[in-house]
Amino acid sequence: MGIPNLQLNAEGRLKHFLTIDGFSRELLTEILDVAESFTGASKDTVKKVPLLRGKVICNLFFETSPRTRTSFEVAAKRLSADVLNLEIDSSAATLLDTLRNLEAMHLDMFVVRHQDSGAAHFIARHAAPRVSVINAGDGRHSHPTQAMLDMLTIRHHKGDFTGLRIAIVGDILHSRVARSQILALNSLGTSEVRLIAPRTLLPADARTLGVHLFHDLEQGIRDVDAIIILPLRKEWMRGTLLPSEQEYSRLYGLTEEKLKAAKEDAIVMHPGPINRGVELDSQVADGPSSVILQQVSFGIAIRMAVMSMAMGSKGAARR
């Protein structure tokens, strides 16, 4: 709290949400609590609340992502905000000129998706004081709302993080989600975070992340409480990194058979979209261990929580 943090205001409250890095366990827990307050008793619906009535939220997407955009749009509308969707060709104008112009239109919040790492930070650093910025994925760097919806899903099923063993499987190297997940899991006090991947898909600094490394799937998921499967993005796999998709699938694809190595009540997560039969078999994706669709549901609540907290409205739990 003493360290200046671009993401917090002078009172230590959430101002921007750019990365999990530097967030205390208390603040992450508060986000989870506020998000939970938006989910109904059935955990299956969210109600429309007037928290951001009169605010204009701009989905500023320099990279197409209908799923993420839709989730933020639904969350904003559930908070009664007005939403502006902008898909911008990043070559068309400088990031700063685009930001300055939109800011001048009295917009209150930017949800930024960009192919370059650091884009959301750049915008937050240059934004007017009254504006909040939410990172909806920047390059290989960070995707913090995705990580937080995963945390909410885990907490919903497993309770406290202390005592949990959680495995992340797949292309850690290129995954902005994995980076954010590892930071969040560690900050929330998870006993053991495991990364399972071929050596070529692990970042060089993997050993410094406070995790355990595995190159064998069944060994890695042994006795874990939750397995997070990462999608294999084919455009990154050509040539050198992997022998073949088939080979990857044989070694790291999660099947019902392999899943038996995990705890009996282990949950299986995936941020989507799933390459069925590659990193995840349909029997598992649609089976009783899968909580994949709940992740999508909790995504709305997490985005509502972060948006309302950044705008100074604490959500249902605090009113």
Residues lying near a second copy in the complex (CB under 8 A): 44-48, 53-54, 56, 66-67, 70-71, 73-74, 77-78, 82, 84, 86, 88, 93, 97, 100-107, 130, 272-274, 293-297, 299-300
Q: Distance between CA 61 and CA 90 in Å, rounded?
A: 9
Q: In angstroms, give the least distance from the CB of 53 to a second copy.
A: 8
Q: Which is nearer to a second copy, 4 or 273 (CB)?
A: 273
Q: How far out from the chain centre does Cα 130 lie?
A: 25
Q: Tell me if 108 sits within 8 A of 55, measured CB to CB.
A: yes
Q: Which is nearer to a second copy, 108 or 225 (CB)?
A: 108
Q: In angstroms, give the least distance from the CB of 171 to a second copy.
A: 20
Q: Which is nearer to a second copy, 4 or 66 (CB)?
A: 66
The CA–CA distances, whole Å, from 12 to 7, 15, 309 equal 9, 9, 12
Q: Which is nearer to a second copy, 47 or 238 (CB)?
A: 47
The CA–CA distances, whole Å, from 132 to 14, 16, 252 equal 9, 5, 39
Q: In angstroms, give the least distance from the CB of 147 to a second copy.
A: 18
Q: In angstroms, give the least distance from the CB of 262 to a second copy.
A: 23
Q: In angstroms, give the least distance from the CB of 92 to a second copy.
A: 8
The CA–CA distances, whole Å, from 84 to 36, 111, 128, 250 equal 26, 10, 18, 44
Look at residues 243, 241, 231 and name the one whose alpha carbon lies nearest to residue 170: 231
E strands along 218-291, which residues? 226-229, 267-269
Q: In angstroms, give the least distance from the CB of 207 to a second copy.
A: 35
Q: Which is nearer to a second copy, 41 or 105 (CB)?
A: 105
Q: Which is nearer to a second copy, 170 or 299 (CB)?
A: 299
Please identify which residue in the block is written with the tokens 């366990």: 25
Q: In angstroms, give the least distance from the CB of 77 to a second copy.
A: 4
Q: In angstroms, give the least distance from the CB of 191 to a second copy.
A: 29
What are 314's two structure tokens?
């604490």
Q: Which is nearer to a second copy, 67 or 234 (CB)?
A: 67
Sign of CA pseudo-dihedral 8, 13, 17, 20? positive
The DSSP bridge partners found for residue 167 are: 194, 227
Q: Is 143 left (phi over 0), alpha (psi -120 to 50) or beta?
A: beta
Q: Which is nearer to a second copy, 74 or 261 (CB)?
A: 74
3-state secondary structure of 319: coil
Q: DSSP code of 230?
A: P
